[in-house]
Amino acid sequence: MNTTSNVKPQLVVVGNGMVGHHFVEQLIENQGHETFQVSVFGEEPHLAYDRVHLSEYFTGKGTLDLALTDGSLYDKNGIRYFTDSRITHIDTKSKHVLTADGIKVYYDKLVLATGSYPFVPPIPGNDRPNTFVYRTLEDLDEIKACAEKVKFGTVIGGGLLGLEAANALKNLGLETSVVEFAPQLMPVQLDEKGGAVLKEMIEDLGVTVHTATTTTDIVDGSKCVHRMNFASHNDEEKFIETDLILFSAGIRPQDALARTAGLNVGERGGIEVDNHCVTSDKDIYAIGECVLWNGRIFGLVAPGYNMAKAAVAHILTTDGQSFTGADMSTKLKLLGCDVGSIGDAHGKTPGAKVFVYHDGFEGSYRKIVVSEDGTKLLGAVLVGDNSTYDSLLQYYLNAIALPKQPAGLILPERSGATPVLGVDALPASASICSCLNVTKGDIASAVAAGAMSVGEVKTATKASTGCGGCAALLKKVVDSELTVLGVEVSTDICEHFPYTRQDLYNLIKIGEIKEFDELLDKHGKGHGCLVCRPLVGSMLASIWNEFVLKKPHVSLQDTNDRFLANIQKDGTYSIVPRIAGGEITPDKLIVLGEVAKEYKLYTKITGGQRIDLFGATLDQLPVIWGKLIEAGFETGQAYGKSVRTVKSCVGSSWCRYGVKDSMKMAIDIENRYKGLRSPHKLKFAVSGCTRECAEAQSKDIGVIATEGGWNLYVCGNGGMKPRHADLFATDLNDQTLIQYIDRILMFYVKTADRLQRTSVWMDNLEGGLEYLKEVVIADSLGLGAELEAQMDLIVDTFQCEWKTTLEDPEAVKAFRPFVNAADKDENIIFIEERNQIRPATDIEKSNLIAKAN
């Protein structure tokens, strides 16, 4: 019994990794914190963080980005938590645990979530300087610090974790090698041929791979820090030299604490548990990678989450789930290569039949293993193309009957492939998100309860908030359930074009279509509408960059683009000249003042470091533009779905904290991207140091100077739903920074939906930020040169639309308040307030008219 004076029984959780944290979440969700006083002990200095996405720490994410909690969840629910606090002893008789600091804590129920530790092969020299494991944030800090000083890095271990570690070293700029003892890469998940295809793909990306290679010892190198000597059983190199060695040769269950407490432990490690995750002591539970269940150890997070739920259910004596094993299928992107493994990937089931498709040109390998009678999918291997993974996984998990020709499931479409399994065919019990055990039925219930979008379903069910691999499938299920409820889900632009925006973009580009009527004749019907006409107008401008008021295009523009100015509530217009980076000469500033004074315009300095002039009538626009152009101004395109502003601080030119010339970079960026039409407005910022005076991290494109170059942030925004930008790349030189921005912007223009902000666009990409990095940095789609060339076309064909309009007499004719007269619009009435004008209200207008009469 509990020997403390507290009324509540004591529940102690040892381990605050992902699984330990999930146990606490489940306990809170089931009101267990009201029954127990809960204490959580973690060895690391941080609270739980996302170890699945640990590699993103190398690509810019910080501790807070990876954190699963900031402690507020624990505090709010009365959970006591202790970081940097290691439990060293369990006394099962008096029922207490002892910390390394000698603190004794009693328990009524104890949960061990001690996880695993990296296995380091017993190779002589494995403890030399510059040798690391890949497990914690502290490990990554040490690796990163070392990588900054060396050139060559090697990973010992070519399994799932080893290849992820290799990707991390490559992202750190090291020339990277992988050494694997087995004859192939990823021997657990892939068959021999799949491993060979993966090896070829990874080597094409510049990573050297040694398979069937045993490292005998590690000694001093002649050119590098280390020399790794290999056994002579292969005919390849006898050694390699490297500066940094990273051991990622598998994991071992962290069961030492359980052993000393006398709990049953497997012969090869792992704390033995039953289906409720109870150990050999009825008051002690174990969950996660430290567990041995039915002779199996599970090294993925999803089984650990299911164990956490089973343990909570048993502790609270509810009718919750028990743990009966877990699917170990995986879908990954390793070093930019798609890899998928499902069920019996090696085809070991007696009588199993195997179908294989291998495309050596495209680097695609697909294999399915089916039952002897051909009706059930037993396993699959996918390398180079995971497009069929979700469908195959559902066939496997739900024992869905296979089509008569199962091979069609992995054949390319041109070869008579069987269509992928539709989500409508899935039963309610189908697992959509294996990390958090969210079924199709859970998603259907959330939609029926009012969740009308993927985001709302994520909030309600937590689906796709783990590894994120189910994002595409989740969207399909949500769309399907909305359709069942009678909510129309259509990707068509409108009734006149049965295409998505991206489809239309490709039709315009590939068909070299330059006018709306031509597009309508070839691919549409009717006359167009207020949806498709401005959309097509924007895409034509994005692709060909012709003058938007050119006769074939003018009818496509909405009011603001039609008059190259923003219409205001009283029918007047605002004029916003470009002031690149917010830098302006006194002479130009005087001209703005003179124009504003002459035409009695309301004058406002904006948050984007521009000066807006409000209250110009339609007929005044060309005249005012002429004066501004004469003074050296050009249109700021504040009226368009285009690049608006590039905000900047003064940077190293003036500021004592500045480390780079942010003003020059801001001006160069604005002058490069001005004129780019896009699905939504775009805002940029450049800060000269990490003090961030330009607020770059709230912009679509944000740039921050560092001692090593420029950090690039992407897809943030202000507005009704503010979103912090994500760190995309670090310490870039000027040329690489511009190259990445070129590619990001043109990929956005090419693939985003109508009126979709960059933040929503990126979140809707399957794979999100990581996928965007692969497209832009690794050029995984082979689009890099095309995107850069398209941006060069936009830059080379830029024109000031105000100036072009003034040079076209026919275009100028449109700037008359009345078609058949040159009279002014007498309905426009201003009131003076704070020494400037503003539009009169309806009541003020009535009073003025009455007074005049």
Measure Cα distances from 419 to 134, 168, 354, 405 in Å: 41, 36, 19, 11
| Residues 6+ away with beta carbon under 8 Å from 686 | 581, 646, 647, 648, 649, 651, 662, 663, 665, 666, 669, 694, 696, 702, 703, 704, 705
pTM of the model: 0.60
* Whether the Cβ atoms of residue 188 and residue 164 lie closer than 8 Å to each other: no
pLDDT in tens, 414-441: 545 555 667 777 788 888 887 787 888 8
Quote the CA–CA distance of 843 and 841 in Å, as a whole number.
5
* Residue 490 banded pLDDT, cuts 50, 70, 90: low
The larger pLDDT score, comparing residue 553 to residue 385, is at 553
Report the alpha-carbon angle 576-580-586, nearest 5: 80
702: left (phi over 0), alpha (psi -120 to 50) or beta: beta
* Residue 823 pLDDT: 55
Quote the CA–CA distance of 644 and 180 in Å, as a whole number.
52
How many CB atoms are closer than 10 A to CB 733?
11
- Where is mean pLDDT largest: 223-237, 752-766, 787-801? 787-801
Average pLDDT over residues 107-129: 94
* Residue 3 pLDDT: 40
* Residue 597 pLDDT: 94
Closest residue by Cα to residue 793 from 540, 619, 586, 432: 540
* Residue 412 pLDDT: 72
* Whether the Cβ atoms of residue 26 and residue 123 lie closer than 8 Å to each other: no
Quote the CA–CA distance of 52 and 745 in Å, as a whole number.
29
Measure Cα distances from 9 to 32, 36, 109 in Å: 11, 5, 8
* Residue 54 banded pLDDT, cuts 50, 70, 90: confident
Sequential DSSP letters for 432-474? EETTTTEEHHHHHHHHHTT--SHHHHHHHH-TTSSS-TTHHHH
How large a percentage of the chain has pLDDT more than 90?
Answer: 54
Among 539-543, 789-793, 848-852, name the one with the lowest average pLDDT. 848-852
Question: Across the chain, what does the average pLDDT equal?
Answer: 88
pLDDT in tens, 175-232: 999 999 999 999 988 989 999 999 988 888 788 999 999 999 999 999 999 999 998 6
Average pLDDT over residues 582-611: 92
Element counts in the chain: helices (H) and strands (E): 28, 38
* Residue 715 pLDDT: 93
Residues pairing with 592 in the sheet: none
Quote the CA–CA distance of 348 and 345 in Å, as a whole number.
8
Backbone angles phi, psi at 319, to 5 degrees: -90, 35
Residues pairing with 91 in the sheet: 96
Closest residue by Cα to residue 532 from 506, 561, 500, 554: 500
Instruction: Give the CA dihedral 830, 831, 837, 841, nearest 10 degrees.
Output: -70
* Residue 320 pLDDT: 67
Q: With 0-12 CB in 10 A as exposed, 13-18 as middle and 19+ as buried, what is 195? A: buried
pLDDT in tens, 537-587: 999 999 999 999 998 898 888 878 888 998 887 778 999 999 998 999 999
Report the alpha-carbon angle 19-23-26, nearest 5: 130
* Whether the Cβ atoms of residue 648 and residue 685 lie closer than 8 Å to each other: yes
The label of the residue with tokens 């509810």 reads 318
The label of the residue with tokens 């109508």 reads 754
Closest residue by Cα to residue 256 from 243, 240, 270: 270
Judge whether residue 58 has pLDDT over 90: no
| Residues 6+ away with beta carbon under 8 Å from 31 | none
Quote the CA–CA distance of 585 and 619 in Å, as a whole number.
28
